Structure 1
Amino acid sequence: MKHLSADRRMIKIAMAAPYLARSEEQALAQAWKDNDDQGARNKIAMAHMRLVISMAGKFRNFGLPMNDLVQEGHIGLLEAAARFEPSREVRFSTYATWWIRASMQDYVLRNWSIVRGGTSSAQKALFFNLRRLRARLAQGDRQLTAQAMHEEIAGALGVSLADVQTMDARLSGNDASLQAPISSGDSDSGERLDLLASDTPLPDEQVSDIIDTERRRDWLNHALGHLNDREMKIIRARRLSDDSATLEELGVDLGISKERVRQIETRALEKLKMALVAKAPALAVMH
């Protein structure tokens, strides 16, 4: 309640703050720029807080707290005051409006849904104008299908039809927790998470894969036992290593020609194949 009272008090003070004449506004802005006068900056900001409150009312339909919108708008207002250039002879309210709106829009996009939406200028325009354009088209004399309405909105905002359809679906439904219970009759029968399809293999498939992998490893280790030391070294370097050695590199290491290395590798692979087929006859069919 204290927080709520403080917010109401701030709004009341803001609405009572006097308007600034153009000359006074320019003088305060110049004092802030030339002398880093924080009081001058704050006075400009406070005089325009009613602009923040007015704009916050335009974002109420997104279901976010009014007080939070005002606070976000105040941040944008202070940013505008810090960046304002009095030499351009533009009214501060005109300049600040863009910063206030941008700050509130960013807040809405961050908090309206737990699913992060697009942040490009086109996506923002779609998010904040879709409902308005849809309502305006629905009030016309034409009886538009959803497809035709989406096409007109896409053309008006310069975005793709798919973007309009996706955003319309997001705005039509609320977020739902995956841990929300699913009721069936008089008792809960699980959570929404239980209904999501899983891409992982079934438990029996996982166990089967583990058993098959272990069996193949045993077969390979048994077959490798039929190789001599030089054959083993070549097979490990050429076939069982992440960084496969070249025939030339092994030839230099073993003191033989690369052609001889190739011959030994071929013979070793034949010995492995024979040992594997003898251990598991089914492999003969596969090969």
Structure 2
Amino acid sequence: MSQALTLAQFPVPSATGSLEAYIAAANRIPMLSEAEEQHLARRFRDEGDLDAARQLVLSHLRLVIAVARGYLGYGLPHADLIQEGNIGLMKAVKRFDPDRGVRLVSFALHWIKAEIHEYILKNWRLVKVATTKAQRKLFFNLRSMKSALAHDAQSEAGFASLSPAEVKSVARQLGVKPEEVVEMETRMNGADISLEPLTEDEDEPYAPIAYLAADSSVEPSVQLERKERDRLQDTGLAEALEKLDERSRNIVKRRWLVEDGEEAATLHELAAEYGVSAERIRQIEAKAMQKMRGVLAARM
């Protein structure tokens, strides 16, 4: 009986048990020879044999576990990393071409790492640290190089902020600008802040929600209400001015609706212009303003 046929007798490692049990079960599944791998890959490609695909996946679960172990430094659960890597493995099996002369283990590495990378970038921080392809490459390469610096110094010093000389060295090795290295390092070193207080032990817990909620003027509903009110006032003001006679309209405009940088006319200046007393101008102005307020109130 061939090893491929024996492999079909192995159950899929259970996800309901402990992680240690899953890893032990995956490591007990026998590896495939090149001939067996080719045979199974052709069965899946040419005949759509799902059992052949299952055997290809099961025989490479230990590869996913090994790759996922290399990303434990990001503080994410090992089981989740393995799960994402398994998705990449299944994608690799689906796209694997046995006629290219490449072993599945080499082909699958790219897909496994791609899925794990995507998972890390989505879950390492609430706010994404990398959005473009170049930023993603810089994120993983920079962390790897900082880990190497820490190892060389036999301390955690490498995880501290890079010195200007180290920034230039890293930028030169990665082929990017020094400021891009600094920006990515700042993103990586940043920490998430809880919007709500984490505990209620303090009498006045401090959290961003406290000062964000304090300014209600920035709320979308308030801003929309303000814009609508301003629109109504602008429209209503024009309509109210049209209700005035020409002299009253000119007095109101000269007194209250001057452009920025211009000075409002005084009562005495308008009195001289119209040949009446300043008191008469004040009376005309008061009557016009009262009429306008009535028009605006009716619109609101």
TM-score w.r.t. length of structure 1? 0.68
Match of 1:81 in 2: 93
Match of 1:91 among 92, 95, 103: 103
Match of 1:223 in 2: 241
TM-score w.r.t. length of structure 2? 0.66
Q: Equivalent pairs: percent with the same residue?
A: 31
Which letter maps to 2:209?
L
Is 1:62 aligned with 2:77? no
Match of 1:165 among 150, 163, 182: 182
Structure 1: distance between partners of 2:105 and 2:126: 33
Structure 1: distance between partners of 2:228 and 2:100: 73
Structure 2: distance between partners of 1:59 and 1:114: 18
Which letter maps to 1:193?
I
Asked whether the equivalents of residues 197 and 207 of structure 2 are also in contact (C-alpha less than 8 Å), the reply is: yes
Match of 2:296 in 1: none
Give, in angstroms, the shift of residue 212 of structure 1: 8.6
Asked whether the equivalents of residues 42 and 98 of structure 2 are also in contact (C-alpha less than 8 Å), the reply is: yes
Which letter maps to 1:12?
A
Structure 1: distance between partners of 2:86 and 2:137: 22
Give, in angstroms, the shift of residue 23 of structure 1: 0.6
Match of 1:156 in 2: 173
Is 1:132 aligned with 2:144? yes
Is 1:26 aligned with 2:38? yes
Structure 2: distance between partners of 1:156 and 1:89: 33
Structure 2 gap ranges (5+): 1-13, 154-160, 266-300
Match of 1:191 in 2: 207
Give, in angstroms, the shift of residue 191 of structure 1: 2.2
> SS where residue 204 of structure 2 aligns?
strand
Is 1:276 aligned with 2:276? no
Structure 1 gap ranges (5+): 228-270
Which letter maps to 2:252?
K
Q: 1:19 to 1:42 in 2, by over 3 A?
A: same
Match of 2:129 in 1: 117
Asked whether the equivalents of residues 182 and 191 of structure 1 are also in contact (C-alpha less than 8 Å), the reply is: no
Give, in angstroms, the shift of residue 137 of structure 1: 4.4
In angstroms, what is the RMSD of aligned CA positions?
3.6
Give, in angstroms, the shift of residue 130 of structure 1: 1.4
Structure 2: distance between partners of 1:37 and 1:188: 64
Give, in angstroms, the shift of residue 157 of structure 1: 1.6
Q: 1:86 to 1:118 in 2, by over 3 A?
A: same
Which letter maps to 2:105?
S
* Larger displacement relative to structure 2 (277-286 or 125-134): 277-286
Give, in angstroms, the shift of residue 186 of structure 1: 5.5
Match of 1:247 in 2: none
Asked whether the equivalents of residues 126 and 192 of structure 2 are also in contact (C-alpha less than 8 Å), the reply is: yes
Match of 1:249 in 2: none
What are the within-5 Å matches in structure 2 for residues 200-215 of structure 1? none
Aligned residues: 234
Structure 1: distance between partners of 2:97 and 2:166: 43
Give, in angstroms, the shift of residue 213 of structure 1: 7.8
Which letter maps to 1:192?
P
Which letter maps to 2:127?
V
Structure 2: distance between partners of 1:97 and 1:71: 15
Asked whether the equivalents of residues 44 and 52 of structure 2 are also in contact (C-alpha less than 8 Å), the reply is: yes
Q: 1:29 to 1:76 in 2, by over 3 A?
A: same
Structure 1: distance between partners of 2:199 and 2:178: 34
> SS where residue 64 of structure 1 aligns?
coil
Asked whether the equivalents of residues 64 and 112 of structure 1 are also in contact (C-alpha less than 8 Å), the reply is: yes
Is 1:175 aligned with 2:192? yes
Which letter maps to 2:166?
M
Structure 2: distance between partners of 1:20 and 1:210: 71
